[in-house]
Amino acid sequence: MNRTYFSAARLEQKYEEQLALTRKSNEQLSHVLELKQNYEHVLIASNEQSLREVTYETLQQVIEELVETWFTKMDSLVYMRLSLESQNQTVYYQTERGEKNRLDVLHQVSEQIVANEKLDSALTPRYVSLEAYTSAEDIQQKELEQSLFQLLLINVRGLAQRCLQQHQALELRFMESEMELARQIQSTLVPKEQLTLERLRARAVYAPFTYVGGDYVDYIRVDERYTCFIVADVSGHGLPASLLASGIRSAVRAVLQKSWSPDEVLTRLNQLLYDDLSKTRSFVTMLVALYDADEHALLLSRAGHPRPIYMSATQKMVLPCVGGVGLGLLPDSTYPLEKVPLLEEGFLLLYTDGLMESGRKELVRDTHSWLHGFSLLMDEHGNVLEHLMDGVESYIWEVTRQGRQTDDLSVLILYFQSYSAQPFPDIDVSTAPAARL
């Protein structure tokens, strides 16, 4: 009897113990389910916040709302501070919720992630940091909250990166717009129409390497007798070279008010530009040719610039004219003057070194290849002026476009009659205006 009673008591005790364990397990399960639902609300709400359109102007507001959502939905969260910081822990911005000195604080969390590895400013912080205090006791809950805090940092970093990307996209569009405007302005300064004089015609070919270039090509009617032709190349590429080229254009016109001879033009330009070019560590190569209509001759001076190509029935050559150094390299440089009588019909090419650096290497290696190609053109077109000038321009474009352009390209094509030949037929020059001082 005693043994039977003992067995029943043991069974009842085990039943109570098992029931207690089941109740505890059910309570834990219920708590876990409650936590899961609560954290799902956190994730849904934070995703909605993080997908909002954000700019630098609204970034802090969106972060405030995101932190508020996190703090409200996480029941165990007692205190939270989120901050955007520099590499040396300078706080650019921070937001806080709750009180960290409460008695129910059981767990402290500190997290930090890199927001930008290269930049470090109030707009593009180096780090996103978080400090949190919770009342969580369960290990699984602590681990889950740790992951959620890391997710919050990732969301905030994503917002900051989206702002940077949007800002950079706006800056790029603005820069492209500015560069396009600069290209249009520079394009208006390059001669578009053919210049027609009594015994000479001129045409410009111009192709910048980027939106804008550092080449300067121009022809300027000084008076009824003299016309000045200029081809120049500023060291470098892009906008800085373009700005210098535009300044040189103004300087040339100022110098031509008093000096026409090419050697004097280059000397005065060097004196005028030397200080500015030295400060920017830049230099300019330039060739100035002055056409004398009365003598039907060209006066030439070079400042470190490529020698012109001369083509006629009896002479096909690179003119062996001497020259001085580029503008901006020596303060007292001088520039020899040479005279080229135009005794027979032909054409002269004044160009920048981009002409020699364009096209396929196996097709165009040096001036000899160009001389050969131009000789074939002269044989093909003979004395038909318009066909020859069109052929020369087309040939230049054809060759240079077969390869990758690596530099600005400018060419002035000067076609001239022989000294004894009849002047060119009269043409309506109103459709081909020449620049004047």
Model-wide pTM > 0.75: no
- Cα–Cα distance between 151 and 131 in angstroms, integer? 14
Stretch 303-309: mean pLDDT? 93
CATH number for the domain that contains residue 284: 3.60.40.10
- For residues 276 and 157, membership in a common domain is answered with no
Strand-pair category, 215-221 with 226-234: antiparallel
- For residues 161 and 272, membership in a common domain is answered with no
Alpha-carbon 98 to chain mean position: 48
- For residues 74 and 139, membership in a common domain is answered with yes
Look at 167-176, 204-213, 386-395 and tell me which has the smallest mean pLDDT.
204-213
pLDDT range class, residue 405, cuts 50, 70, 90: low
Look at 19-33, 66-80, 113-127, 298-312 and tell me which has the smallest mean pLDDT.
19-33
Strand-pair category, 91-98 with 200-207: unpaired
Stretch 131-143: mean pLDDT? 83
Above 60 in pLDDT, residue 140? Answer: yes
- For residues 427 and 378, membership in a common domain is answered with yes
End position of a domain, from candidates 115, 136, 167: 167
Angstrom distances, CA of residue 288 to CA of 61, 224, 275: 62, 18, 21
Above 80 in pLDDT, residue 408? Answer: no
- For residues 210 and 109, membership in a common domain is answered with no
Total tally of structural domains belonging to the chain = 2
Closest listed residue to residue 111, CA positions, set 139, 67, 80, 135 = 80
Q: Please provide the average confidence, as pLDDT, over all residues in the chain.
A: 80
Above 50 in pLDDT, residue 366? Answer: yes
261 Cβ contact partners less than 8 Å away, ≥ 6 residues apart: 290, 299, 301, 337
Above 90 in pLDDT, residue 286? Answer: yes
Q: Which domain holds residue 333?
A: 190-436
In a domain, 11, yes or no: no
Cβ distance 358 to 408 under 8 Å? no
Question: Quick check: helix, strand or coil at residue 357?
Answer: coil
Closest listed residue to residue 135, CA positions, set 71, 73, 78, 74 = 78
- The pLDDT value recorded for residue 363 is 45
- For residues 227 and 82, membership in a common domain is answered with no
Check residues 358 and 74 and name the one with the higher pLDDT: 74
Q: What angle do CA 279, 285, 291 make, to 5 degrees?
A: 135
- For residues 160 and 195, membership in a common domain is answered with no
- The pLDDT value recorded for residue 340 is 93
- The pLDDT value recorded for residue 310 is 93
- The pLDDT value recorded for residue 248 is 87
- For residues 411 and 329, membership in a common domain is answered with yes
End position of a domain, from candidates 136, 167, 198: 167
In a domain, 318, yes or no: yes
Stretch 261-287: mean pLDDT? 92
- For residues 231 and 157, membership in a common domain is answered with no
Above 90 in pLDDT, residue 169? Answer: no
In a domain, 61, yes or no: yes
In a domain, 359, yes or no: yes
In a domain, 172, yes or no: no
In a domain, 261, yes or no: yes
CATH number for the domain that contains residue 88: 3.30.450.40
- For residues 69 and 106, membership in a common domain is answered with yes
Structure tokens at 430: 């109103």
pLDDT in tens, 39-96: 666 666 666 666 677 888 888 998 998 888 888 878 788 999 999 999 998 999 999 9
Cβ distance 416 to 347 under 8 Å? yes
- The pLDDT value recorded for residue 431 is 36
Check residues 171 and 186 and name the one with the higher pLDDT: 171
- For residues 210 and 246, membership in a common domain is answered with yes
In a domain, 177, yes or no: no
Stretch 399-408: mean pLDDT? 68
In a domain, 183, yes or no: no
Percent of the chain whose predicted confidence (pLDDT) is above 90: 30
Above 80 in pLDDT, residue 177? Answer: no
pLDDT range class, residue 349, cuts 50, 70, 90: very high
End position of a domain, from candidates 111, 132, 167: 167
- For residues 304 and 207, membership in a common domain is answered with yes
Stretch 143-157: mean pLDDT? 85
**b (16+ CB within 10 A) / e for 349-379:** bbbbbbbbbbbeeeebeebeebbebbeebbe
Above 60 in pLDDT, residue 156? Answer: yes
Above 50 in pLDDT, residue 362? Answer: no
